[in-house]
Chains A and B, each alone.
Chain A
Amino acid sequence: MSDAQESGKLVTSLRELQQDIPPERDLWASIEASIKEDVARRSRSRLPRHSWLLPMGVAAATSFLAIGLWLGRASVDSPPMVAQQQPAQHVEGSVVTAVLAVDADYSALRSRLEGRAIAGLANLSDTERQQVAASLATIQQAVKELETALGKDPSNALLQVLLVQSCQEEMRVLTTLERMADPVEETSL
C-alpha cells in the first residue's frame, strides 16, 4: 500500500472514531451547584449600595402605621387640641436636613418634648406603652441612620425626604405624648 493510500485510510479511520463519549458519571449536579452559587454571588454583588434602605423603610412604615393607629385612638380620648404647634413644620426644603442636625432650637424643643413624652408614656397601658416605645425607637434609629447616610451622600434627595418624614413623624409622636402627659399646659401654649 502506498503512503498516500495509507494516509487516506488513516484519515478515514480517524473520522470514523466516536466523537461523543458520555462521561462515566453524571456531572450535571456539581455543575448546577456551581452555577447556582455563581448566580447567588452575582445577585448579592448587584444589590445597590443603599440596600439597607428597603428594610429600614419597611420598618419605618410599619412603625408609622402602628403609631398612626395609636394616635387615632388617642385623639378620640384626649380633649380637643387648640392651636397645636407642629415643630416639624418649621423645616422646609432640602437644606432642612443639614439644619435639622445643627439647629439648636430644634434640638432644645425635641429634648423638651422627649422628656415630657416619657411622662406621657406612663399614662398608657403596658401593651400600648411597649408598642409606642418600640415604634419610637425604630423611628429614632431610622433618623440616626439617615443622618449618617446623608453625611456620606449629602445630595441624595431620597435620603433627604426620608429624613424629613422621619423627623416629622417623631415630633408628631412626641407632641402627642407630651399632650397626654399634661393636657392643661398644652392648651395654654
Chain B
Amino acid sequence: MGEQADPPAGAEGPATVVSIDQAWIDRAKAGDIKAFEQLYRRHVGRVNGLCLRMTRDQDVADDCVQETFIKAWRALAGFESRASLATWLHRIAVNVVLERRRRPERREESIEDMHDLEEQWNLDTPVETAELEAAIESLPSGARDVLLLSGIYGYDHAETASMLGIAIGTCKAQLHRARALLRDRIEHGVKHGASGGL
C-alpha cells in the first residue's frame, strides 16, 4: 500500500475536516502559534465570508476577522473538542460584528460605498449571483443577519437565534421577512431598498 496522501483541497468531508482540525486545535491549545495559523488558513475564508456579508465593508470585515481570530486564540482553552470549530468561529465572528454595530462611532454608509460593494461582488461572480448578493446586501441588518446564517451558512433557527441573541420566534419572523424582501428586491431591482448598515 502506498503512502497516504493528504486529501485534495475541497474534497474533505466533515469528519476529515474535524479530525484534521482536532490535531491543530490540540497543538494550538498547547500554545503552538503555527498550529493556530493552520486553523486560521483553513477557516479564514468562511469567517471572512460571513463578516463581509454582515458588515458590507471589506475594511470593517478585515478588522472583524482579525478580532475573531484573536478572541478565538484567547478562548481556545475553553473550546470543547466535540463542537465544530467552524461554528464556534462563526459564533465569535457574529458577536464581534454585533459588538461593532453597537459602537457609537458607527459611520453612515454612503452611496459611493454601495457602488464599491457592488463592484466587489461583480469581479468574478456570475450576474445572477451578483444580483442575489446585492439584494442580500440591501436588506435591513436584522433580516440580513438571519438570512445569512440560516440561508447561506445553513444554521437552524435555534443556532441562528442563539448566535444573534434573539428569540427563535423572532428569528423565524425575520427570516420570513428577509425572504419576502429578497424576492421583492430581485424582482424590482436592488436600488430602491438599500437600508441599514454595519
Contacts and interface: CB of A to CB of B under 8 A. Distances in A.
Interface residues of A, number: 27
Interface in B55-89: 58, 61-62, 65-66, 69-70, 73-74
A31 B46 contact: no
B183 A23 contact: no
Interface residues of B, number: 34
Given A31-B40, A39-B31, A17 B70 contact: no
Contacts of B69: 27, 31
Contacts of A35: 33, 36, 70, 73
Given A10-B183, A11-B151, A36-B33, A20 B46 contact: yes
Given A35-B36, A39-B31, A27 B152 contact: no
B154 A15 contact: yes
- Chain B interface helix/strand/loop/mixed: helix
Nearest to B49: A21
B18 to A, nearest CB: 17
Interface in A9-31: 10-11, 13-25, 27-28, 30-31
Given A21-B48, A21-B52, A38-B73, A30 B152 contact: no
B169 interface: no
Contact of A32 (B33, B44, B48, B133): B33
5 contacts: A13-B128, A14-B147, A18-B125, A23-B44, A35-B73
Interface of B: 31, 33, 36-37, 40-41, 44-46, 48-49, 52, 58, 61-62, 65-66, 69-70, 73-74, 125, 128-129, 132-133, 147, 151-154, 179, 182-183
